[in-house]
Structure 1
Amino acid sequence: MADHLLEVRNLSVRFHTAQGVVNAVNGISWHLDKGETLAILGESGSGKSVSASAIMNLIDMPPGEITCGEILFDGIDLLKASVEDRRRLNGKRIAMIFQHPLSHLNPVYPVGWQIAETAMAHGRGKAEAYDRALALMERVGIPNARAAMAKYPHQFSGGQRQRLMIAMALVLKPEILIADEPTTALDVTVQAEVLSLLEELKAETGMGLLMITHDLGVVAEAADRAVVMERGRIVETGTPHELYYNPQHPYTRKLLAAAPGKGEMRSTPAAAAPILRVQDLRKSYGGFQALKGATFDLHAGETLAVVGESGSGKSTIARLILRLEEATAGCVLWQGDDLLTKSPRQMARVRRQLQMVFQDPTQSLNPHMSVFQIISEGWAIHRDIVPKVQWKARVAELLQQVGLEPGHALRVPHQFSGGQRQRIAIARALALEPEVIICDEAVSALDVAIQKQVIDLLGELRNRLGIAFIFIAHDLPLVGDFADRVLVMQAGEIVEQGTVRQIFDAPQQAYTQRLLFAGLDADPDIHATRRSARLAMARG
């Protein structure tokens, strides 16, 4: 058909690397129509983001090479368009939301200016551009948007930074919006709001939405059609309903089998003396109270999930426990000693036993170090863990445990996808054989199959070695599968806590009920029921 808004025909992309040629995309074809949401679904490294980068002319060539194909938009083959034509199209008619907002927001400019600058670069006046920026910041859910316009990216949570990226992409009301994992870092309520917002904007403007995702729940909630990719090839195409209820390809069936929220909830282990006690922990920034007296215990071999919206204080708890920031008040008792009173030298010894996997692997991995150096660095400090002659074998073992190949040890972080970088961060945390691992959205960037593999691995380590986890997450189905107890946080306070069964089966607070209702599920019929309920509530 000639009337597709965007059409990709027989596209192939390869990369020349030190290890040889990598065929990232192999002869794929798909189309996007006006007013349609097309999801490209697949695991990290399947080629879904590479194909989107080709549309926006963002592939570095070399080492990348587009060997064949066409990308047709408004009668133009984008692969043959001039640099000037691409500059006029990109941002104005075709816009993109990237996966890692901190890597794409300028740290030295206020966010309001950065959003307005997109409009000004395409001829809008300053006053109009700033008004548009303010309206979009309010619409994507940035609190106190007018004051927030003067803030800098580091002053926002990970989820809030992603909302800012979405606002920036929507400034000029593009005809096509490419969303590369747009809700990965968002809590469930904001995730639902953002997907709803994108749907509203699509309905208003007729915009075509290309959604790149590893989340089957996003596909079920937002997509009209989905393309399933494996190892650079399209293996199946269909509606969310067709893919969920009648998958034809073994790979699609594997993805569905790995979707969280379908397993049995864990039974809480017998109570024992806690290994970590947090008592009345508080943190203030000037006059703002980020954490208002958190109190909880963590037991050996237990998984304690911490859930809540962005800015609720989840990550603040993790940073205070590890002394990455200093608490305003309270105490953190580790094996009877208050960590908040320890010297830096004493804390260095404790951190071997308390490891953390951060939310954004792009920021937490040294870009100049190889994967081997990143994972083995802790052994150079704590020399009694692994003898140096065994470092190579142990690094290979850890990489395989998190779903990577031993040969990846020689690469550097920028040579991996976002999900693969997070696997490296998890392997680094496991290398020191800690007693407690704090996971700050540690698996949110992973595709469902690898996410399940990593969660199964963490569960095995918990059961075999007695490792305890503080599991900060916005993915409630995953929490239901993995956690023993749950803390629910809102505006810096713990508003509800209990066993996973108590929280999921009989939530007491309206806020907790709202979080559970907003969670995504791989079953499109569940989302259809929820949409009907939301419409009924809006009318009544």
Structure 2
Amino acid sequence: MADAAPAPHVLEVKNLSVEFHSAGKCVKAVRDVSFHVDRGETLAILGESGSGKSVSASAIMDLIDCPPGRITSGEISYRGRDLLNMPAAERRHVNGRKIAMIFQDPLAHLNPVYPVGWQIAEAMRVHGMPAAAAKARAIELMARVGLKDPAARAKAYPHQFSGGQRQRLMIAMALAYDPDVLIADEPTTALDVTVQLQILRLLQQLRDETGMGLLLITHDLGVVAEMAERVIVMNAGEVVETGTTRDVFKAPRHPYTQKLIGAVPGQGGMRTGSVGAEPPILEVRKLEKYFGAYHALRAVSFDLHAGETVAIVGESGSGKSTTARAILRLDDADSGEVIYRGRDLTTLSDKEMFALRRDIQMVFQDPTQSLNPRMSVFQIVSEAWRIHRDILPKERWRARVLELLDLVGLKPDHADRYPHQFSGGQRQRIAIARALAVEPRIIICDEAVSALDVSVQGQVIRLLDDLRHRFGVAFIFIAHDLPVVRDFADRVIVMKDGAIVETGTVAQIFEAPVHPYTRALLAASLEPDPDLRGSHDPRPEEVA
């Protein structure tokens, strides 16, 4: 008797190629990519921006815009049936019901004008479920993903939920029909370390309970090490390496994989330098800030010395960004002092503050939103000289812009391009060049590298470090990525609920944390080592 044929993989991609045609050019975004996912397992697709990992997932879900995109070859099979040759009505039945997807930015994928319960039920109504049954199922799903008081919260709107809660809502939406495969595209990129671990634990729990296959798309090696049994590594649209997670991490074969793993922050030595006896360049004293009844800052005090980097860490809502905005007078503090060069910034007039603002610059988290899309790079970098007319004569603007672009690792011809023509890392370099145009003494980086690929992140950190040594620039470095803080900072401030709960040198904070909250943050930080899987300890969830 002949052996029975092996059961087909629940999802299999064979020799997939995708092209995009625009402005007379052809970009081969995915080239001859193959992989499979079985029920009950997690496969990670690892790669940096532009590697083709998200395009591959979009092809599975039939989300590629045609035109300009086009699948030129390959098969995408669900339980042995090729989705690409399936009738449209039947494929719509598979998408969402059998293969579901959650995205990186839930706020961009949740409609702000509808209650969340209505939105979760919408997919079920579209697939024919009666409205009352869909509403009940939506409330059940909200409870399943750990949202408290789901019947009441179902009536709330997306802006009334935190980032982690919104990601839970997206997961609830995807689970409506208990799919066989869940595609998670960068599901935790912008989340705090503790919230990230909670979301990953939830995905693991749901996978184990339902037996679904999980296709995890990410550039975070710590997430891959914690979650995946197998991994494929993509670069420039191609699969360059595949294997078990442990084999790929412990013995990478391809140079690109070796480069990725070698670029992971937090692997080198910690800073041991002293600030010396010089007086601080900035003194923050007992800052208080209220937003209505909400107490956002509680007696926040710290010093910053020339050439020093002070990192401020903590979860969303801890007061990190509010502290930065209060220093810059983007939000006025209700009380307290910010002493810079002997003057209290909180008491200065708008005209006086205008003159000093050039000394303290800020680099924001998302350069896409902080750079004017209608302005060229030359206009963006030189804009400060139009405002502060005494800095540089206009005839020298062009030469100085090219100098600054070279300083941040960009090319002269980039000056005449626009922000949309650059990668995320390049846009962040443009933002840094803009900050340097006024020759500041202090730069505040508010999550300036959190969304960047690991190798680009390392390049930007090295750039900032070089600027610190060459020009004596001091940095306030706001971050939730603890390995990056470990590499870059001299001192660390830990904030929770608007107050500083612990402060010390990098070695003191990372090797001998005192406060339970600091220990919880460090315990939840994922390391790119599959041998440490399951050893991280998330804080008890507060999702109400």
What residue number does 1:322 align with?
328
Q: 1:365 deviation in Å?
A: 3.3
Q: Alignment partner for residue 232 of structure 1, among 231, 237, 246? A: 237
What residue number does 2:266 align with?
261
Q: Alignment partner for residue 483 of structure 2, among 464, 477, 481? A: 477
Are 1:281 and 2:281 an aligned pair?
A: no
Structure 1 contact 141–190 (Cα < 8 Å) conserved: no
Q: 1:51 deviation in Å?
A: 1.6
TM-score (norm: length of structure 2)? 0.87
Secondary structure at 2:435's aligned position in 1? helix
Q: For 1:383 and 1:366, how far apart are their aligned partners in 2?
A: 21
Q: For 1:92 and 1:138, how far apart are their aligned partners in 2?
A: 20
TM-score (norm: length of structure 1)? 0.87
What residue number does 1:270 align with?
275
Are 1:307 and 2:321 an aligned pair?
A: no
What residue number does 1:15 align with?
20
Structure 1: stretches of 5+ with no match in the other structure = 535-540
- 1:366-385 mapped onto 2 (5 Å cutoff): 366-383=372-389
Q: 1:41 deviation in Å?
A: 1.1
Give the count of matched residue pairs: 532
Secondary structure at 1:297's aligned position in 2? strand
Deviations, residues 104-155 of structure 1 (Å, cap 9, x unaligned) = 3334445555445445544556666566656666776778877766665556
Q: Alignment partner for residue 342 of structure 1, among 335, 338, 348? A: 348
- 1:89-238 mapped onto 2 (5 Å cutoff): 89-111=94-116, 113-123=118-128, 152-154=157-159, 161-238=166-243
Percent of matched pairs sharing the same residue: 64
Secondary structure at 1:43's aligned position in 2? coil
Tell me which moved more, 368-377 or 301-310: 368-377
Q: For 1:340 and 1:147, how far apart are their aligned partners in 2?
A: 42
Tell me which moved more, 378-387 or 293-302: 378-387
- 1:391-470 mapped onto 2 (5 Å cutoff): 412-414=418-420, 421-470=427-476
Secondary structure at 1:351's aligned position in 2? helix
Secondary structure at 1:79's aligned position in 2? helix
Q: For 1:190 and 1:440, how far apart are their aligned partners in 2?
A: 19
Matched AA of 1:514: A
Tell me which moved more, 407-416 or 172-181: 407-416
Q: For 2:131 and 2:262, how far apart are their aligned partners in 1?
A: 51
Secondary structure at 1:323's aligned position in 2? coil
Secondary structure at 1:68's aligned position in 2? strand
Q: 1:440 deviation in Å?
A: 1.8
Are 1:511 and 2:492 an aligned pair?
A: no
Tell me which moved more, 464-473 or 346-355: 346-355
Q: For 2:429 and 2:119, how far apart are their aligned partners in 1?
A: 31
Deviations, residues 17-37 of structure 1 (Å, cap 9, x unaligned) = 448332222211111111221
What residue number does 1:538 align with?
none
Are 1:354 and 2:368 an aligned pair?
A: no
Deviations, residues 322-367 of structure 1 (Å, cap 9, x unaligned) = 2222323222222222323334444444333222222234433334
Are 1:526 and 2:536 an aligned pair?
A: no
Matched AA of 2:516: A
Secondary structure at 2:456's aligned position in 1? helix
Structure 2 contact 47–234 (Cα < 8 Å) conserved: yes
Q: For 2:236 and 2:403, how far apart are their aligned partners in 1?
A: 23
Matched AA of 2:236: R
Q: For 2:86 and 2:521, how far apart are their aligned partners in 1?
A: 46
Q: Structure 1 residues 248 and 329, CA, compared in 2 at 3 Å: closer, same or farther?
A: same
Q: For 1:344 and 1:161, how far apart are their aligned partners in 2?
A: 38
Q: For 2:76 and 2:106, how far apart are their aligned partners in 1?
A: 26
Q: 1:221 deviation in Å?
A: 0.7
Deviations, residues 36-72 of structure 1 (Å, cap 9, x unaligned) = 2111111222222222222223333333332222222
Q: Structure 1 residues 505 and 205, CA, compared in 2 at 3 Å: closer, same or farther?
A: same
Q: 1:281 deviation in Å?
A: 1.4
Tell me which moved more, 292-301 or 341-350: 341-350
Tell me which moved more, 134-143 or 10-19: 134-143
Structure 2 contact 8–80 (Cα < 8 Å) conserved: no
Secondary structure at 2:358's aligned position in 1? coil
Q: Structure 1 residues 500 and 156, CA, compared in 2 at 3 Å: closer, same or farther?
A: farther
Q: Structure 1 residues 15 and 391, CA, compared in 2 at 3 Å: closer, same or farther?
A: farther
Structure 1 contact 356–437 (Cα < 8 Å) conserved: yes
Q: Structure 1 residues 273 and 106, CA, compared in 2 at 3 Å: closer, same or farther?
A: farther
Structure 2: stretches of 5+ with no match in the other structure = 1-5, 539-544
Tell me which moved more, 131-140 or 318-327: 131-140
Q: Structure 1 residues 412 and 280, CA, compared in 2 at 3 Å: closer, same or farther?
A: same
What residue number does 2:541 align with?
none
Q: Structure 1 residues 273 and 146, CA, compared in 2 at 3 Å: closer, same or farther?
A: farther
Q: For 1:437 and 1:328, how far apart are their aligned partners in 2?
A: 23
Q: 1:285 deviation in Å?
A: 2.0
Q: For 1:146 and 1:362, how far apart are their aligned partners in 2?
A: 37
Please give the root-mean-square deviation of Cα atoms over the aligned residues, in Å. 3.2
Largest Rg, 1 or 2:
2
Structure 2 contact 275–308 (Cα < 8 Å) conserved: no
Q: Alignment partner for residue 36 of structure 1, among 41, 46, 52? A: 41
Secondary structure at 1:352's aligned position in 2? helix
Q: Structure 1 residues 323 and 142, CA, compared in 2 at 3 Å: closer, same or farther?
A: farther
Structure 2 contact 9–80 (Cα < 8 Å) conserved: no
Matched AA of 2:329: R
Q: For 2:238 and 2:175, how far apart are their aligned partners in 1?
A: 30
Q: For 1:381 and 1:264, how far apart are their aligned partners in 2?
A: 42
Structure 1 contact 420–446 (Cα < 8 Å) conserved: no
Q: For 1:14 and 1:394, how far apart are their aligned partners in 2?
A: 39
